[in-house]
Amino acid sequence: MTIERTFVMIKPDGVKRAITGEIITRFEKVGLKLVGMKMMHIDADFSKKHYSDLVDKPFYPGLEDMIVSGPVVAMVWEGAKAAMLVRKMIGGTEPHSALPGTIRGDFTHITYDRADATGGQMPNLIHASDAPETAEKEIHLWFSEADIFDGYESVLSKLM
Ligand code: UDP
Ligand code: MG
């Protein structure tokens, strides 16, 4: 079985909503192992590095404004096919279309239309790497190896 790491970031809107704990609880309950976590307030340069594949998109300016608007909680979670699992748990990009039971589907409901009407920002609470390769790239951008603590045994690790 392939155990992999994935990168997750609670965006400023999620931190301000005070649901950081509820989100972490969901990842703990499913059996993922927390191996890195920190709070950061990133600037525009860092946003462009993180979203390097999206900087030319029309929605990027609104995304950047949102992501630098407050602190974020950055995390690394480990588990079997962790990137795919976490993407399933956060739900689709547009919260209104995200399925009930997902983080975006349960805690917010903004639509693309509404985002356009309110200046192009679409707060959807959370970011997660879309594939294992992206995850490794994002983990290296946000964390040094000294900030990763995978040398402990999670009580759930035998179940994964
Ligand atoms: N986004 C947006 N409008 C769009 C598409 C994306 O505001 O039409 C924002 C949204 O916050 C999203 C982020 O840009 O989470 C990154 O977009 P991506 O397509 O990578 O979605 P994700 O991987 O976050 O689901
Ligand atoms: Mg993405």
Are 139 and 5 in contact by the 8 Å Cβ rule? The answer is: yes
Residue 71 has pLDDT above 70, yes or no: yes
Nearest atom within ligand 1 for CA of residue 123? 11
Percent of the chain whose predicted confidence (pLDDT) is above 90:
89
Q: Would the pTM of this model clear 0.95, i.e. be above it? A: yes
Ligand number, closest to the Cα atom of 93: 1
| 83 CB near ligand 1 (under 6 Å) | no
pLDDT at 118: 81
Nearest atom within ligand 1 for CA of residue 130? 23
pLDDT at 116: 87
Radius of gyration of the chain (CA): 15
| 86 CB near ligand 1 (under 6 Å) | no
| 59 CB near ligand 1 (under 6 Å) | yes
Helix, strand or coil for residue 35?
strand
Tokens 């993180």 belong to 50
- 34's enclosing H/E stretch is strand 33-40
Domain boundaries, given as residue ranges, for the chain: 3-145
Name the fold adopted by 3-145.
Answer: Alpha-Beta Plaits (3.30.70)
- 23's enclosing H/E stretch is helix 20-29
Nearest CA to ligand 1 atom 5: 59
Percent of the chain whose predicted confidence (pLDDT) is above 70:
97
Q: Can you spell out the DSSP letters for 120-158?
A: S----SEEE-SSHHHHHHHHHHH--GGG----S--TTGG
The answer to whether 127 is a known catalytic residue is yes
AA identity, residue 77: W
Q: What is the mean pLDDT of the chain?
A: 95
What is the distance between the alpha carbons of residues 113 and 18, in angstroms, rounded to a whole number?
A: 26
Q: Exposed/middle/buried for 17, CB within 10 Å: 0-12, 13-18, 19+?
A: middle
SS3 content of the chain, % helix, strand, coil (to 5): 40, 20, 40
> Confidence class of residue 34 from pLDDT cuts 50, 70 and 90?
very high
Q: What angle do CA 160, 78, 31 make, to 5 degrees?
A: 45
Average pLDDT on 71-97 reads 97
What's the distance, Cα to Cα, between the start and end of the chain in Å? 9
Which DSSP category does 139 fall into? H
| 60 CB near ligand 1 (under 6 Å) | no
